């Protein structure tokens, strides 16, 4: 999983599956779009206007619970 933020676009992207995938976009609301890949798998999540969606100046805390490291 990879989480990136583009300050110029004010966009937060959570990449759940690495690699290049042919995706369709499913817009949930004004801020959140899901990237749906092959076999209807969730490939990524994009939050546009992220500073507005998360609150100005708010840096989210990332907490991983019950997540096991997977060997390559």
Q: What is the pLDDT along the chain (72 residues), one digit of tens a residue?
A: 888 888 899 899 999 988 888 999 999 998 999 999 989 999 999 999 888 877 666 666 777 787 776 665
Instruction: Say how far apart CA 38 and CA 31 lie, in whole Å.
Output: 23
| Per-chain mean pLDDT for the chain | 84
Task: Report pTM.
Answer: 0.74
Q: Which of 23, 27, 53 lies closest to 37 in space, CA to CA? A: 23
CA atoms within 13 A on the CB side of 46: 17
| Torsion angle of the four alpha carbons 31, 37, 42, 46, in this order, in degrees rounded to the nearest 10 | -20
Give the pair of three-digit tokens for residue 71. 């060997």
C-alpha distances (whole Å) from 41 to each of 13, 35, 65, 68 are 16, 9, 22, 20
């Amino acid at each position: 999983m990879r989480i990136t933020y583009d300050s110029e676009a004010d966009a937060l992207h959570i990449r759940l599956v690495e690699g290049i995938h042919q995706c369709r976009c499913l817009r949930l609301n004004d801020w959140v779009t899901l990237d749906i890949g092959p076999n209807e798998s969730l490939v990524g999540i994009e939050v546009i206007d992220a500073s507005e969606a998360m609150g100005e100046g708010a840096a989210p805390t990332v907490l991983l619970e019950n997540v096991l490291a997977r060997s390559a």
